[in-house]
Structure 1
Amino acid sequence: MFAKKHIFVIMEEDYIKLIFGLKLKQIRTDRNLSLFGLSKLSGLSKSYLNEIEKGKKYPKPDKISILSEKLDIPYDDMVSLKLDKNLAPIGEILQSKILKEIPLELFGIKESNLIDIIANAPAKVNAFISTVIEIAEHYSFSKESFYLASVRTFQQANNNYFENLEQEVVIFAKAYQIDLTKPIQSNELEEILVEEFGYTINNKDLEKHKELDALRSIFISKSKTLLLANHIDEAQRTFIYAKELAYNHLKFKERLYTFSWIKFENFDQVLNNFFASYFAGALIIPKTTLTEQLTNLFNKNRFDESLFVKMIKSFNASPESFYQRLTNILPKEFNIQNLFFLRFTHRSGSERFYLNKELHLSHQHSPHANETNEHYCRRWVSLKVLNEISKTKKDHVVDIQISHYPNDDMQYLVLSSATKDPFKESHYRSISVGLLINKQLKNKLSFLEDKKIVAQKVGVTCERCTISDCEVRQVPPTILDRSRKNKKIENVVNELMQKFS
């Protein structure tokens, strides 16, 4: 506890040094003084002044008095932590909790390095921060959104694979004699929660409150009571139990208490929620078993849809959990690192499709979230399976497609599943994983040459699509047309500039 407090004090001192240095540098540059000039004016060495401006040293009171007198700035203004409007955003972020809440070390960033960057280029950093704040306000970018985006970046930076969590699953399974070669049932995990961790499982009280019909569970830490919605299926119950076991086994104190989440108090809760979900997925869908099944599927010369569906059903997990687990295993075990994950939702009878979850490994792939008023390409297999299931009484629709994006000249093999939304009447969701087709993928997937797999030219949204003969286009390519028009205007202006130069 003492060590943490000591580190916190040091961090606060660093911020004070940096703010003083930023103010001194701004005052100096406003006076059109070089470091050499300020050194001659004040009698303080150039190297000493440079250290102050970089936030590495804080001058003693007598030195501050000299600077105050020579620069004609009141002493109190010099030592005040208040910054003028040009540097105010930097002061806000330095004095806020944001740098303390986010574990920068996860991204390989040292706080001292971040401070150096701010000190060396305050104007640029200030402009960047101001821009981020403006974007956040314009698009209602909440603290929760920022945290979630940070976790997503963390996943992408690690190819969404965490060996330490995989090992913890093995350790947990051995400690509680769980056979990872067989499907795990909820009663097996419930027994561990009750007997080992003193949980009370309540399947009744959550249903008494209609306001909570979107929640699957609430955990009351004081009494270790887990309230569960009684309409959840076996796979959902198993996943919830597995997450609770993860919180306990990994000894996470900061955690979320509802599923799905309502709000986040700090970044650790978001990160631990991700780790617990990863642990749960790895426990229910073990790496070794899934790797063996995928190897069998990939070695076939034709895509075996029935085998793929059998794979999904062989685990006590939802299709979404299965597809999520693919994003862990494919990069690690098969070196398929260029992939994306998408989750769409759709209401039967409507013409709108909502992309509310996505992950991109290696780089930002073509299918990604856009402005909410744009129309996603109806040629995507993700939308096709949603259309099909909403018009039939099927429980699960699976399809595969080779999607070719002419604008990027890239092709993806996309696997997609659609199921009913268990919590919303007449609502459906599709889960998709897209694999970039390159030489490496062709070497790993024997069925990639299967002629029965439909190949389709696709766009991102109708508003930006170059496909002229699209039979399912929802609206004209307005954004694309505007861009083309602006390009023509630019070309004519250039011609006139050359003609009359």
Structure 2
Amino acid sequence: MEQDYIKLIFGLKLKQIRVDRELSLFGLSKLSGLSKSYLNEIEKGKKYPKPDKIAALSEHLDVPYDEMVSLKLDKNLAPIGEILQSKLLKEIPLELFGIQESTMIDIISNAPSKVTAFISTIIEIAKNYSFSKESFYLASLRSFQEANNNYFDDLEQSVIAFAKTYQVDLTQPLKSNELEEILVEEYNYTINTSELASHTELDNLRSVFVPKTKTLLLAKNIDDAQKTFIYAKEIAYNYLKITERLYTFSWIKFENFDQVLNNFYASYFAGALIIPKERLVTDLKSLFSKKSFKARDFERIINNYNASPESIYQRLTNVLPKHFNLKSLFFLRFSHQKGSSHFKLNKELHLFKQQSPHANETEEHYCRRWVSLKVLDQISNSNKPHEFDFQISNYPEEDKSYLVLSSATADPFKSNSFRSVSIGIKINTQFRRKINFAESKSIPNKKVGVTCERCTISDCNERVVPPIIISSQQKDENIANVVRQIQKKYSESS
């Protein structure tokens, strides 16, 4: 058992006993003969008392010595013990969020009952919604991205330095053969494009890395853009000297938070290398200077880079907040099987507060007026490799509007399966200042909700289920109104 854990558990127990006895630190000091500052250090988990001092506390608090030193916690503190013993505080690098571990311990020791209630609630939610360890890590990563407006200058500078060192021309589209040469010549990689195809169980994987022999196994059915991204990530792991990493793409599972964070760093580096910041900013300035928005102008930007639409959209979430001060935005990725009525939101990011479209785990039906779903319907009924659409989505209940751009492509690893990626930029003063086509009539305008169950739009032909949650809320409000009227009536008569 770690000494820190033992000290903290003793401190939590002592504080709980003191509070139960309705004693202040000053009162316990007078009772036990130990100084108030020393007792405070014990309760914060910073010091562990010697046996004679534990004996004094045991005697004056009328608690058996063995119970005082036992690591067993009662039901009120048990959840805290579990989270501390699991080393969760050490596994997630709290310093990323500007939080010191000692600060967390202070919070826990100062309000153990409130922290216990919070932890118990999180555990209950996790059970009910099948919230896995990976989900928790990814939620922590999203918070880290959002706290930094999803822009990391040290990684941007690393890309520029790498390009200079290896004479990579960032003004031209990057091809996979250029990066493959660097991996083979500089980092002694062996590239294998046949092994994965012989294992049907690995159909969903794009690549597997074998560290002992530096062998990179690639799936056969990936295009050059996907291959370029995989190579760029491998270069990032080597150039940034990352050792705690994942060995498959897409990931199977995360063992710890460092793997999650390093996977993000490598992906960010890859995106910044393939879609250089300066080129993208120039392209966006040209787009934003136009008086009307046309699909071909945005699709031209996508075609300027050897990258998937998802990589382009992800890169927009880095560049728009930093270089255009457009911070209120969201990124969504949906998957959809042809012939199914189900749309799964499997990736999202919200910058500058939670934006309106967000994931739900209650089996509700996402608004069918979203352009994110519309492009999935379009591509599942066409033979096109890429479908693009756009609209202004108005949320009347929240008085918010977003310009939403969305692209859909076929999933190369699943038959009749499709994916869409979308970026939504909130329409506000900054949006109108930076984007010339902000008031353009060429952009379709739609009233939307979040889910059908919670939508108040009455004339919606796309609705797939009734607004049952809204109806329930209205019924409750009607009951409350009648109760208030009765109370008022009989209050006046008295």
Q: Which TM-score band (shorter chain)?
A: over 0.9
Cα distance, 1:63 vs. partner? Answer: 1.0
Instruction: Please give the secondary structure, in 1, of the residue aligned with 2:438.
Output: helix
**Post-superposition CA distance 1:26-81 (Å, at most 9, x none):** 11222333333323322223333233223333222211111111222222221222
Greater shift, 260-269 or 14-23, is seen at 14-23
Greater shift, 487-496 or 396-405, is seen at 487-496
Is the Cα–Cα contact under 8 Å of residues 392 and 401 in structure 2 kept in the other structure? yes
Distance 1:342 1:147 in 2: 18
Q: Indicate yes or no: 2:341 matched with 1:358.
A: no
Choose which of 443, 453, 468 in structure 1 pairs with 2:443.
453
Choose which of 332, 343, 347 in structure 2 pairs with 1:342.
332
Distance 1:435 1:331 in 2: 10
Q: Indicate yes or no: 2:216 matched with 1:226.
A: yes
**Post-superposition CA distance 1:451-476 (Å, at most 9, x none):** 11101100011100000000111010
Is the Cα–Cα contact under 8 Å of residues 404 and 423 in structure 2 kept in the other structure? yes
Alignment of 1:7-18 (within 5 A): 12-18=2-8
Distance 1:495 1:23 in 2: 50
Q: Indicate yes or no: 2:109 matched with 1:115.
A: no
Greater shift, 16-25 or 266-275, is seen at 16-25
The one-letter amino acid of 1:233's match is D
Is the Cα–Cα contact under 8 Å of residues 347 and 426 in structure 1 kept in the other structure? yes
Choose which of 130, 135, 155 in structure 1 pairs with 2:145.
155
Is the Cα–Cα contact under 8 Å of residues 420 and 427 in structure 1 kept in the other structure? yes
**Post-superposition CA distance 1:140-174 (Å, at most 9, x none):** 11111111111111000000000000000011111
Q: What is the match of residue 380 of structure 1?
A: 370
Alignment of 1:323-338 (within 5 A): 323-338=313-328
Instruction: Please give the secondary structure, in 1, of the residue aligned with 2:334.
Output: strand
Alignment of 1:11-160 (within 5 A): 12-160=2-150
Choose which of 202, 217, 236 in structure 2 pairs with 1:212.
202
Alignment of 1:244-259 (within 5 A): 244-259=234-249
**Post-superposition CA distance 1:270-295 (Å, at most 9, x none):** 10000000000000000000000000
Q: What is the match of residue 470 of structure 1?
A: 460
Distance 1:470 1:15 in 2: 57
Cα distance, 1:315 vs. partner? Answer: 0.4
Instruction: Please give the secondary structure, in 2, of the residue aligned with 1:500.
Output: helix
Greater shift, 344-353 or 450-459, is seen at 344-353
**Structure 1 residues not aligned, in runs of 5+:** 1-8
Is the Cα–Cα contact under 8 Å of residues 129 and 361 in structure 2 kept in the other structure? no
Is the Cα–Cα contact under 8 Å of residues 334 and 347 in structure 2 kept in the other structure? yes
Instruction: Please give the secondary structure, in 2, of the residue aligned with 1:341.
Output: strand
The one-letter amino acid of 2:283's match is Q
**Structure 2 residues not aligned, in runs of 5+:** none
Distance 1:292 1:497 in 2: 65
Q: Indicate yes or no: 2:304 matched with 1:304.
A: no
Instruction: Please give the secondary structure, in 2, of the residue aligned with 1:448.
Output: coil
> Relative to 1, partners in 2 of residues 1:57 and 1:238: Cα closer, same or farther, differing over 3 Å?
same
Is the Cα–Cα contact under 8 Å of residues 407 and 422 in structure 2 kept in the other structure? yes
Q: Indicate yes or no: 2:276 matched with 1:286.
A: yes
Instruction: Please give the secondary structure, in 2, of the residue aligned with 1:232.
Output: coil
Distance 2:154 2:307 in 1: 22
Is the Cα–Cα contact under 8 Å of residues 297 and 304 in structure 1 kept in the other structure? no
Choose which of 279, 295, 302 in structure 1 pairs with 2:285.
295
Distance 2:384 2:485 in 1: 60
Cα distance, 1:180 vs. partner? Answer: 0.4
Q: What is the match of residue 228 of structure 2?
A: 238
Q: What is the match of residue 3 of structure 1?
A: none
Q: What is the match of residue 479 of structure 1?
A: 469
Cα distance, 1:16 vs. partner? Answer: 2.5
Distance 1:372 1:394 in 2: 33
The one-letter amino acid of 2:487's match is M
**Post-superposition CA distance 1:300-351 (Å, at most 9, x none):** 0011321211110110000000000000000011110000001111112222
Q: What is the match of residue 401 of structure 1?
A: 391
Instruction: Please give the secondary structure, in 1, of the residue aligned with 2:350.
Output: strand
Q: Indicate yes or no: 2:265 matched with 1:275.
A: yes
Cα distance, 1:366 vs. partner? Answer: 0.5
Greater shift, 380-389 or 253-262, is seen at 380-389
Greater shift, 102-111 or 388-397, is seen at 388-397
Cα distance, 1:17 vs. partner? Answer: 2.4
The one-letter amino acid of 2:19's match is T
Distance 1:52 1:218 in 2: 50
Is the Cα–Cα contact under 8 Å of residues 294 and 442 in structure 2 kept in the other structure? no
Instruction: Please give the secondary structure, in 2, of the residue aligned with 1:423.
Output: coil
The one-letter amino acid of 2:36's match is K
**Post-superposition CA distance 1:370-417 (Å, at most 9, x none):** 135211111111111111111111121111101100010000011111
Choose which of 362, 381, 385 in structure 2 pairs with 1:391.
381
Instruction: Please give the secondary structure, in 2, of the residue aligned with 1:402.
Output: strand
Q: Indicate yes or no: 2:461 matched with 1:442.
A: no
Cα distance, 1:490 vs. partner? Answer: 1.7
Distance 2:338 2:86 in 1: 45
Greater shift, 71-80 or 379-388, is seen at 71-80
Q: Indicate yes or no: 2:399 matched with 1:420.
A: no
Instruction: Please give the secondary structure, in 2, of the residue aligned with 1:18.
Output: helix
**Post-superposition CA distance 1:204-233 (Å, at most 9, x none):** 010001111000000000111111001101
Please provide the CA RMSD for this pair: 1.3
Greater shift, 27-36 or 118-127, is seen at 27-36
Distance 1:285 1:497 in 2: 65
Instruction: Please give the secondary structure, in 2, of the residue aligned with 1:384.
Output: helix
Q: Indicate yes or no: 2:193 matched with 1:200.
A: no
